Amino acid sequence: MASVTSLGIGSGLNVEDIITSLMKVENRPVESLQTKAAGINAKISAFGALTSAMSSFQSAAVTLAGIGTWNAMNGSSSNSSAVSATTSTGASAGNYAVEVQALATAQSISSKSYTSATSSVGSGTLKIDIGNWNSDNTTFTANSSNKTLSVEVTAADTLTTLRDKINALGSGVNASILNDASGARLVINSRDTGTDNGFRITATDGDGTNTDNTGLSALAYDPPNATSATTLRQSGSNAQATINGLPVSSASNTLSNVVEGVTLTLGAKTTSAVSVSISADTDKIKKALTTFTEAYNSLATLLSTQTKYDADSQTAGALQGDSTAVSLQRQLRNLVGASTPASSVYQTLSSVGVTLQADGTLAVDNTKFDTALKSNMGEVRKLFTATDLTNSSRSGIGTQLRKFSDSVLSVQGALTSRTESLNQSLSRNDTETSKAEARVADVEKRLRAQYAALDTKMSSLTALNTYITNQIEAWNKA
């Protein structure tokens, strides 16, 4: 409507009030459609929240029904600083006595003392071979799988720049500078531990002599063939241990799959056996159950809130009476309260301490669940994870709930289909609202045109009436 109008001046009628009153009646279908749209939007929002809650529940059900959760193992040690244990796929329960006779070490050498880290080291070429020294360092056997590493050294190079060039090789060895009371030393270590990861350094010295202690040759390490100012600080060696009396040798202090699915990390020599125990990771199982019940309870509470009528506030949930929501609520309760022949010992969730409450949520008796795990974990596993491809009702409860959540969240599932249907209804409502608003606008335009014509006519009649009245008055005076 126009904010400023002259309608009614000619007729003397309060046209704006008349039109406003008439348009309130005409606008009722639009208001009805808008109210309907608000209801549809509320349902779409509610189903969006249900979809999110169902997705969380699906994820929790997948974990609880997953074999990986129930097959997970946990490693413990009576002396974890000496021997620690971690598990992976394939680990089996067992107990092991581990004794560590020696830790794996990396070869390490140090140069003679230089005035500072910026001291010149000579010029020429250093060649580094990776391989194995014999016990008294009189014989070196290069690994055929490793190529000789070469470092070109110029007269401008110092301990610092030589260190950087060695480290730039990226494999085999690494270098660092150690500063002590006598000056700076170049320290070179094998990157990996073990006897097969030792190294030999030979020099082609720019001063023409490759075997003395001056120039670049002072940094060589090849005891059988030349004397050198470079000193062996530690030989590369393998770790030595026994596991249940079986001798084990390893190039590293990490023993992977010596026991299948178990990684033992050696941290110190021992004087007596360390007890390592591999057992079922019940904490992981209990965490999966806790997450599952929390996700279920969130979903159940949301369904209850959205479908109930609150007598006190006289308000109904957005999904009260919605057949899809009510059906989901009923199916969930039936599944968690059902029995299954998947286990010969535990047929229901309540038999292991997971019970359905009056308000539709689940409660866990941790003591009862722990007892079931300790007494017969295999049957508890069946209750949750068993799968019967021919008859789903014979599958474990966890598997049934996982499949249920998969189905309602699928492309043609109940939640997806209902949300799509509501969006289509909203689209149709928007179209009807636009048409109704157009009809209302046409009616208002027509009314304004009619009242404008009335004003014009009434103005004309008023002017004629005034003329006649004036004429009569003039005649009477004459």
178 neighbors 110 (Cβ within 8 angstroms)? yes
Based on the domain organization, do 143 and 57 belong to the same domain?
Answer: no
| Mean pLDDT score across all residues of the chain | 91
Kindly state whether residues 52 and 115 are assigned to the same domain: no
148/195 Cα distance (integer angstroms): 18
End position of a domain, from candidates 210, 234, 258: 234
Report pLDDT digits (tens) over 417-461: 998 989 898 999 899 889 988 988 888 888 888 877 777 777 777
For strand 239-243 and strand 309-310, is the pairing parallel, antiparallel, or unpaired? unpaired
Looking at the predicted structure, is the pLDDT value of residue 355 above 50? yes
Give the pLDDT band (50/70/90) at residue 381.
very high
Residue 339 scores a pLDDT above 70: yes
Answer whether residue 385 is part of any domain. no
- Which residue among 248, 280, 312 closes a domain? 280
Residue 474 pLDDT greater than 90, yes or no: no
CA nearest to 326, candidates 304, 299, 310: 304
pLDDT attached to residue 1: 42
> What's the number of domains the chain is made of?
3
Q: What angle do CA 78, 79, 81 make, to 5 degrees?
A: 155
pLDDT at position 214 is 86
The reply to whether 100 and 112 lie within a common domain is no
> What value does the mean pLDDT take over residues 7-34?
75
Structure tokens at 476: 């009477």
Identify which has the larger pLDDT, 343 or 226. Answer: 343
Q: Does residue 320 share a domain with residue 409?
A: yes
In a domain, 345, yes or no: no
- Are 26 and 113 in the same domain? no
261 and 215 within one domain: no
Are 63 and 95 in the same domain? Answer: no
The mean pLDDT of 280-300, rounded to a whole number, is 96
Q: Is the pTM of this model over 0.85?
A: no
- Residue 359 covered by a domain: no
Shared-domain flag, residues 131 and 207? yes
* Chain segment 297-330, per-residue pLDDT in tens: 999 999 999 998 878 887 888 888 889 999 999 9
Do 20 and 77 lie in a common domain?
A: no
Q: Which residue has the higher pLDDT, 348 or 461?
A: 348
112 shares a domain with 223: yes
Most confident among 7-21, 35-49, 346-360 (mean pLDDT): 346-360
Q: Do 216 and 143 share a structural domain?
A: yes
Q: Could you list the residue range(s) of the whole structural domain that residue 293 is in?
A: 1-72+281-331+392-478
Q: Is residue 202 part of a domain?
A: yes
In a domain, 179, yes or no: yes
Is residue 249's pLDDT more than 90? Answer: yes
Residue 3 has pLDDT above 50, yes or no: no
Do 276 and 327 fall within a single domain?
no
